[in-house]
Amino acid sequence: MERLNIKGKILTDTKALIDQSCKRGNATERDKCLHEVIIKKHYNATDVKIDYHRKRIAMDIVMDDGAYDPKEVNVKLPLLHANILFRNLREFLNSCIESDRNSLSFYAWLLRSHANKEVPLTMV
């Protein structure tokens, strides 16, 4: 029973963090990093760029995880360039939230990192 409560709390707190980061008129650098990390996690993407004015997200999506090895440089990694338009950033980011075990542990780490202002938000 407690497992469901923890899962729900992580998801609720993550969505609250997204809501808080999207409420401000101008997103801070920390908010921008948060948005990029959530998109990178959901789409398995690299090089995410968000154009807040034009409501557009450009990213490169890794097509084959088997070809990716973080220990070596791979210039022939199969990537798909995507250009996504969004109407509401908060709704778009909330739609990226997943409830599987790996995602929940990632969101728990994200919440801890965001609570600690000195830890940079980066995703490997």
Indicate the helix (H) or strand (E) that contains 59: strand 56-62
How far is C-alpha 23 from the geometric centre of its chain's CA atoms?
17
Smallest CA-to-CA distance from 36 within 16, 19, 51 is with: 51
**What SS3 state is found at 43?**
helix
- The answer, as to whether pTM is greater than 0.75, is yes
- Per-residue pLDDT tens over the stretch 21-40: 998 777 889 999 999 999 99
- Look at the block and give the residue holding tokens 């948005």: 35
Give the residues across from 80 on adjacent strands: 61
Q: Give the percent of the chain with pLDDT over 70.
A: 88
73 falls in which pLDDT band (50, 70, 90)?
confident
User: HSE-up of 106 (CA within 13 Å, CB side)?
Assistant: 19
Averaged pLDDT for residues 10-16 = 94
